[in-house]
Amino acid sequence: HQQGAEGVDVRGLEEGKLFEPRQEPFVPPPIEEVIPPPPEFPADPWQAFLDYMAATEGQESQVKMGLEGHVIERGMHKGKGVAVFTSGGDSQGMNAAVRAVVRMGLYVGARVFFIKEGYQGMVDGGDHIVEATWSSVSGIIHKGGTVIGSARCKDFRDREGRMKAAKNLIKRVSQTWW
């Protein structure tokens, strides 16, 4: 046996036998090709929302239901967001459902937000809307009630209250956009 300094078998490692020297230096691709830039956030997100609402008024929803059996790929919804909240009374399995939504949302690349205290938290905004992480749902399925709180909200029944909630959501997401 031929052995190198560390006792490693070096047979067959004569120069040029196993490794060809690199002809050109390695140049990494531009970062934009490896990691695409995040989608641009509108300069005035509230106005963009109002424009969208006006443009789609009276149109049928774009949501497609019944996609059972379709392949769900990691990162397929990168740049999108979802908010999770609970409303009404507590029931069994709410924390497990919250955990499942957060983990699947993160898996597909979406940004996931908790809305603490249900509809009331949406109308109040501010610290009631927080970004969820994988660790924020670890260990919650054994807890009773709902870890993000639950509250009904009289204000949300009126258009003015719903618009305030929409503005709070847009404001919070725009503050934390990449």
For 12-67, give the secondary structure using H, E and C: CCCCCCCCCCCCCCCCCCCHHHHCCCCCCCCCCHHHHHHHHHHHHCCCCCCCCCCC
> What residue type is 108 in one-letter code?
V
Residue 49 main-chain phi, psi, to 5 deg: -65, -45
pLDDT at 29: 73
Q: Domain count for the chain, please give it.
A: 1
pTM: 0.63
Share of residues in the chain with pLDDT > 90 (%): 35
Q: Which domain holds residue 161?
A: 76-178
Note whether residue 156 is domain-resident: yes
pLDDT at 101: 94
Q: What is the CATH number of the domain that holds 121?
A: 3.40.50.450
Q: pLDDT tens, 126-175? A: 999 999 999 999 989 888 888 999 888 999 999 999 999 999 998 888 87
Note whether residue 11 is domain-resident: no
Q: pLDDT tens, 26-46? A: 677 776 676 666 667 677 888
pLDDT at 93: 87
Note whether residue 166 is domain-resident: yes
Note whether residue 116 is domain-resident: yes
